[in-house]
Structure 1
Amino acid sequence: MNESIRYAWYAVVAAFLVLIGAASYIQVVAADDLRTHEANSRELYKQFGGPRGPILVGGEPIVESVPSDSSSFDYQRVYHDPELYSGITGFYSLAYGQTGLEQRLNGWLSGTADDLFIERIRQTFTGADNPGASVELTIDPEAQRVAYSALPEGMKASVVVSEPATGRILAMASRPNYDTNLLAVHSTTQASENMEKITGKGVSPYQNPPTYNIPQPGSTFKLIDAIAMLESGEYSPTGQVSVPNELPLPQTNNTISNFRGGICDRRGSAELSWIFAQSCNTPFSQAAMDLGQDAIRDVAERFGFNDSSITIPLSVNASHFPTEEIPQATLAQSVLGQVDVRASALQMNMVAAGIANDGTVMHPQMVDTVRGPDLNVLEEPQPEVYSEAITPEIADQMTEMMLEVVQSGTAMPARSSIPIAAKTGTADIGTTGKVNSWITGFAPADDPQVAVTLVYEETDYSVGSQLTAKNLKKIVEAVVEQ
């Protein structure tokens, strides 16, 4: 009898230990996984109706949670100036989840980040709400407004403004856009109807065009070509280069030509700086075939091409230059920013900013400070070097050539009392007659404070060419002189 009781006691103790272990695992080890599991609708409803942390620009909230009149949820997520910031903030929706910074910074904003563990413990004992952390962005509100004003309604366009020395994003905007408040409503039925209206206008609320869209960059890619040429030692800004009107492509019946009737067809040879300023095609195609694909790709990748790991913390669609071997004829077209070469507005901004910063490319960043509910600093990202892309000497040579683009070349409408260095680009889109119009540059050229990149996608050449240089000037003068 005593032995039976002893075995029963062992069984009871073992069962008790199993239950204690299971409870401890669920409440401690697996708590975060269970809380954030996609099937946990209870936690989703709790977080959606909670006092989520704000996203700030210039000390003012562009996103915040405010008390709600709803009987179902205590708080409502509100987006201020959504036309300016929708691509950056994304949305927080009961029906569609999270996108943009709402998704990428969810741990901070929801209060579930590891650094807020003590705060969660305090709230457990006090019963207080979990307000989450507040996130201050690097965005300058005035720069954002001016940059956005450079994007005409009805166009597909993006703009990025950054600080070359630090990588801080000062402005990032795009069109078309949408009202993020329409997807933050408490009614899933209403959110679904609003989503149909948004997507019906050709807008994707899941993407941030300046970091997601990768259109052909056109002649802005000649920044990469020119660097490869200078690094080879076979070219210099003042050296003479042949400028044929047409360049036969190997093993094809096709040719590369300069802009028909343009100034490039009036000279048989010219200095590289003049060729660069006028954006002649044939010399760059010939140089690329002479130097080889690897030399061009090496330079492109130093600036970020083909890198799928970049986050700011928004995810960034990798810009592309061919890694597989391509025919010489294809290379000759690719180095003009055509064929399968693709670049985001952020990528071409990194190129301009790297040149401005004596050849050092800084990692782009958008978060300035993260503060807890008690306003203590939880995170304060510091400037981070992405790569030492080129030498200061090459950067100086590129700056001088980019200055010439504005003074006497394809970006003359950007001439200003502030010295601006830039490169324009136009990429033909198949046989549609439409183009991608680009400009990327920095100012002041002798003491760079900002790098600016604009792209107008799928537009008429006459429209895009009128918008690029004048809007670069507009943004530079507003931001540098403020």
Structure 2
Amino acid sequence: MNKPIRTIAIFCLLLFVALMLNATWLQYWKASDYDDNALNRRVIEDAYSQQRGAILVGDEAVAESVESDDQYDYLRTYPQPFKYAHVTGYFSFYDQTGIERSENAVLSGDDDLLFVNKLVDLLSNKSGKGGNVQLTLDPDAQDAAYAALEKLPKDPDTGTVEASVVAIAPATGKILAMASLPTYDPNKLASHDFGAVQEDYDRLSQDPTEPLLNRAIQTTLPPGSTFKIVTAAAALSSGNYTADGQVPGGATYQLPQTSGSTGEIDNEGRSCGTDQIPFAQAMEESCNTTFAALGVELGADALREQAEKFGFDQRYLQDLGPQAVSNFPADANEPQAGQSAIGQFEVRATPLQMAMVAAAVANQGVLMRPYIVDSIQSPSLETLRQTEPEELGEAVTPEVADGLTQLLVSTVEEGTASPGAIAGVTVAGKTGTAQSGDPDVPPYAWYVSFAPAQDPEVAVAVVIQSAGIDRGEIAGGTYGGPIAKAVMEAVIR
């Protein structure tokens, strides 16, 4: 073989090798990345031709595929769209969100758990069907949460309510309810009329009230006085205080390194004594002066350490996203520690985070990982994978948890959290009214609780971000208490 021919042959051989390497790289190493890419239209078009699995709450499907008479064969439908929209998310030609996204491999039938089913379908020449996702949600609790939010008066400027509810089973971390307002209809985004889909998506994404936002896990706000549970936990854990003992009182408290009204903490007219008062009274009356003083005494490091034991500054929700991270400020000085101790300054929390605080106290101090996917099932409802409860760590000792429970029960029976009381059931709870930091934005109303206090079945967090409530009437107990009560009753009765 002469030299020119040999050169061309070697060059062609190198081209074939490069082509084989590129094909191997694309079809083997990168295949899953392309399959999982939400912008891959081929994958979406193929998925539209298959029967996607159902998302189940109890025995009912809250998302399912029905036969369609167009080129895509199946249409994704949501029988109770507004109530479950932020959990199920939507499956559209352009994108997926919520459970539709996080469990897409199962629902589409591509998960390895469904290999046998896929093989049987292939051998029998049947079209494939995706697996089912069974959620942990309690339908009665979800009904109660959504109905209670819907009863809130609407903001006259926006015509809607911005609020959310989360309920957790303290012993396991199962999410029993997750509702958010404003909501939307995922059926419109799953439509095969792609022009209408784009129009509706543009409308929702440009809405200033952000109806696509799952406020239960994607919105962080100052938790206000509900954070006093964390501060009380740090105080009791320090060994310097007991639930039956005395704590600093007083009508006002001047933060260190400050002077005048800008650094003065008051109690907004509540009865908080003068010098030392019972810890129960401080919690019942939600005394800002007490908890600010405790925060300064304990220091920012101790507060942050305690907050992180409850889950702050962490991502712990693995089966639904995206999750906003609750935050306790780093490197806070003394006056900032005092403000942080009452849930202000730069402290931010999601409703899920504050439900976890209540749940950890209820569970004798043990913090459980929250989860919303109970099991993965085959198309024939055979359980392929069951989620097992997982401990994240000890937030407080059992003794401290007992002390906190004692204080929170007293707050429901004798204090500001009384609107969450349930006849014949011992309830532990705490209210919060957090300043937004913007004089034009009204405060946020919070309520956290768990019940029955001595044998807890459910922990709840409620936040009302915006509603048709006069600024002077906004209070966590008045509006959040009845919502939490309705959800707790739905679970325990």
TM score, norm. by length of structure 1: 0.91
| Matches of 1:361 and 1:211, distance apart in 2 | 17
1:123 Cα deviation from its structure 2 partner: 3.9
Aligned residue among 113, 116, 129 for 2:127: 129
Name which of 142, 145, 153 aligns with 1:144.
142
Moved more, 430-439 or 114-123: 114-123
**Larger mean Cα displacement after TM superposition, 468-477 or 161-170:** 468-477
Residue 413 of structure 1 is matched in structure 2 by 419
| Structure 1 residue aligned with 2:488 | 476
SS class of match (2:184): coil
Compared CA separation, residues 295 and 37, structure 1 to 2 (3 A): closer
Partner of 1:297: 304
Match of 1:462 in 2: 473
The answer to whether the 8 Å contact 1:50/1:129 transfers is: yes
Q: Which amino acid is the alignment partner of residue 42 of structure 1?
A: R
Match of 1:384 in 2: 390
1:328 to 331, 334, 340: 334
User: Aligned pair in 2 of structure 1 residues 444, 34: CA closer, same or farther (>3 Å)?
Assistant: closer
CA distance in 1, matches of 2:480, 2:390: 30
My pick for the range that moved more, 165-174 or 112-121, is 112-121
SS across alignment from 1:165: coil
- Listed one character per residue, the Cα deviations across residues 42-82 of structure 1 (whole Å, up to 9, x for unaligned) are 22211134211110001211000100122x21110001211
Counterpart check, 1:46 vs 2:24? no
What is the 5 A alignment of 1:342-421? Answer: 342-416=348-422, 417-421=424-428
In 2: Cα distance, 1:10 partner to 1:252 partner: 80
- Name the stretch that deviates more: 222-231 or 373-382: 373-382
Q: Tell me by how many angstroms 1:375 deviates.
A: 3.2
Deviation at 1:472, TM superposition (A): 2.1
Between the aligned partners of 2:295 and 2:451, the Cα distance in structure 1 is 29
Residue 13 of structure 1 deviates from its aligned partner by 10
Contact preservation (8 Å) 2:164, 2:215: yes
1:66 counterpart residue number? 66
Choose from 120, 129, 143 the match for 2:118.
120
Q: Distance in 2 between matches of 1:39 and 1:473?
A: 43
Distance in 2, matches of 1:201 and 1:40, equals: 27
More deviation, 299-308/146-155:
146-155
Deviations 1:338-358 (A, max 9, x none): 121000000000000000000
Once the two structures are TM-superposed, the CA of residue 231 in structure 1 deviates from its matched residue by 1.1
Who is 1:450 aligned against? 458
Distance 1:22 1:229, change over 3 A: closer
**By how many angstroms is 1:129 displaced?**
2.1
Alignment of 1:254-273 (within 5 A): 254-264=262-272, 266-273=273-280
SS in 2 for 1:150: helix
Change (3 A) 1:17 1:410: same
Aligned length: 477
Larger CA deviation: 339-348 vs 313-322: 313-322
**Which SS does the other structure have where 1:98 is aligned?**
coil
2:100 to 99, 102, 108: 102
The 8 Å contact of residues 316 and 370 in structure 2, kept in 1 or not, is answered as no
Residues 162-311 of structure 1 mapped to structure 2, 5 A cutoff: 162-204=168-210, 206-253=212-259, 254-264=262-272, 266-311=273-318
Report the alpha carbon displacement of residue 188 of structure 1 after superposing the two structures with TM: 1.9
**Counterpart amino acid of residue 473 in structure 2:** S
Could you say if the C-alpha distance between residues 18 and 375 of structure 1 is closer, same or farther in structure 2, counting changes exceeding 3 Å?
farther
| Counterpart code for 1:434 | P
RMSD: 2.7
Unaligned stretches of 5+ residues in structure 2: 155-159
Q: What amino acid maps onto 2:224 in structure 1?
A: G
Task: Note the alpha carbon deviations across 1:127-152, whole angstroms, 9 max, x for none.
Answer: 42221110010101111000111212
Deviations 1:200-239 (A, max 9, x none): 5434354311001111100000001001111111111222
In 2: Cα distance, 1:450 partner to 1:385 partner:
17
Deviation at 1:269, TM superposition (A): 2.7
Distance 1:18 1:236 in 2: 73
Q: CA 1:109/1:450 → structure 2, altered by over 3 Å: closer, same or farther?
A: same
Q: Answer whether contact 2:255 2:265 (CA < 8 A) is retained.
A: no
Residues 475 and 118 (structure 1), Cα distance of their counterparts in 2 relative to 1, 3 Å cut:
closer
Q: For residue 81 of structure 1, what is the aligned residue in structure 2?
A: 80
Supply the distance in 1 between the matched residues of 2:472 and 2:210 (Cα, whole angstroms).
25
Tell me, yes or no, if the aligned pair for 1:418 and 1:477 is still in contact at 8 Å: no
The structural deviation recorded for 1:180 is: 0.7
**Structure 1: which 5+ runs fail to align?**
none
TM-score by length of 2: 0.89
